[in-house]
Structure 1
Amino acid sequence: MTRTLSPFPIFPTMSTFVRCINDGLDFPANIHVLERLSRVDESCLPVEMCRHAADFILESMRIKRTPWPGRYSDYSAVLQMALNWSFLVDRRPITQWDNVTFTEFLRFISQPDYNWVSRSPAGSRFNSAGQPVLTAQSINPAWRPCYRRDPDAPIVSTVMRQVRGITYGFLSYLNRIGVRAQPAPAMARSPEVPDSKGLESANLLSHEIDWLFAHLQSKSQFDVELQLCRFVLAVARYTTIPLADLSPDAQHVGLLSQFMTYPRSPEPGDPPRCSPWVFIDNPGAPLETQRPLCLQFVLILKDYVQSRGISIGEALPDAYTLPENRSSKGMPTGTVQAMIRRLRGAIAEAARGDKVLPNASETALKIEHLTFSQVRRSMRALTIR
């Protein structure tokens, strides 16, 4: 296998990206990214291609009505792959790609060179400690564009479809704005790769869910993000509360005060209560409903609330249920989903290394696709049994 030059991150976090745009900074604004781009052959038009990629993301954010924190992560990750491959492997600007080039890119990404792959989640693309966030964050040397537990294992098919679709969209955009003379090449056929449908659609078994929550409980005591993840997945496991109800938007308030003890004693004809606690859906609206909360969930709710320094012995405050880090805003649903995706790789590695967990490797493969919906779907399947 030929060893290519090591790739480097180009896009910062979504919040930093948006701040750069709002402050009128040219993209890329990061001095370390610009230094790496300066080493690329000028014929690849490195800065110009990066700016077109940023404009493509901005246009997509304007026209696609979708939670964008998770979508931005997907778009920027794929575009970084395409730009790095163009600069370091193909050594031509993306504007010159034809069908053959497109296919070669997909074949490379399906089984990239070793220095493009991390065997463990590398974390952030940039190091933020002590540096101006918009322009001077240093590049994380551990970052790689591809994560594989086994570097020789090919990428799964669902991810390849995402890589192919976003890259094709970018090529079409370049043609539409007039910097690419030819229409986007026909959608290149993805290389034959393992079908991931079984992994993504597989339900977690009862002992796997128990292991997941035991792991989160043991690791979340001093980790704010894992504590939040444990709480969100407990909502999926033990309640019928929709994920959207936890986040503030035009239809939902997303407040802790929606979790409360019953305001009155039970009366004849009331549905059975499994604990003194209830969640009020659509508070104050004509369609206000009560969702009973079981004791198992209430215990996790108390842990979560107390981890935020809030007393559980009285009515909970009108604080956001899922606060954004270092912000007074509530966390959007897309950000919650992106957080779970970011944490699940390390959780899967822990499962894979657990010598007591039955069929640990199979459980780890499922957890690599961990979502709120997967936990809820798994619990429904166990209930039907």
Structure 2
Amino acid sequence: MTVAPAAPAPSSPAPVSPAPASSPGARPRVPLGPTAAVVACLAAVVVAAALSLTLGARIVPPDVVWDAFLRPDGSTDQAAVLSRVPTTITGLLVGGALGMGGALMQGMARNPLADPGLLGVNSGAALFVVLGMTLFGWQAPLAIVWCALAGAAVAVALGYGAAAASPGGATPVTLALAGAAVTAIATAVITGILIIDQSTLDSYRFWQLGSLTSASVASLTQLGGFLALGAVLAVACSGRLNALALGDDVARGLGVRVGASRITAVLAVVLLCGTATALAGPIGFVGLAVPHGVRLLIGADYRGIVPLSAAAGAAFLLLCDVIGRILARPGVLEVGIVTGVIGAPVFIVLLRRRKAVGL
């Protein structure tokens, strides 16, 4: 009887080599860890605040800045330092709010080009400022602040409501389209009013440039609570942005309430960016460029991006304000102009260098 040869033993599977770092599934490398990024951003805030108190029409030595708070003597140099404190605080609050709001908008809309103006925040605030000046003759800074805040809230409510009422719901595409529609309508109305009302045009032009010097102590005190509430909401919903960045279906599969998360993020954007616009006018590129820079430092985790964007935005805006003071000495070049000149090239460089870090 012939015996059949035994079947060869199955060979063990060859070991699988790890994917190279450049493969699509590899975790992107970032230059800084979370701790180092926090230290770097906080150090940038301290340096920017020190420069803001030191530089201006009158350059004050650092020891005089220190003495102005610890040993005030009423000297001219110390008076110059104390006069810059409201501007410095405004820059920190406004820059932090715009940076945090931009990170929220980009995560919620899954759009790398999203900024706080995507839902019509700036245009709505500007429209209500113009209406307040034209219809009621309001010129006081505090009245303009409340007009801008109300206009930002109404514009975002209209834009988000229109997007949510569309057949597909509030998706990234419908949010962008609704925001563009609100912006177009508000801009058209503003242009029509300014053409026929010269006095309103004269008053509106300065606010439109974006300035840190227009906010008063009273307005900072009254609106500080809105910024604090917006920051709390932003940090609270930052973790859910990681799931939303994967798509609505995946987020729902992970147990995330997509609608409630978007509404919370929108409310935070209204409080942060509406208040910032009310305090300093429409300032561009902070909310657009700063979150991209933070992603290059720590990666795509929104639990770190949102709070660090606040620190980075505050430092960036204050440094732009200092540059405006130096370039226009003894006058001041408004910070909204400087952020546009500096922010656009920086944003282009960041986009060209973005490789593995995504939204």
Q: What TM-score results when the alignment is normalised by the length of structure 2?
A: 0.26
Return the TM-score normalized by structure 1: 0.25
- When you count strand as a share of all residues, which structure comes out higher? 1
Q: Which protein is richer in helix relative to its size?
A: 2
| Bigger relative CO (Cα 8 Å, ≥ 6 apart) | 2
Q: Which has the larger radius of gyration?
A: 2
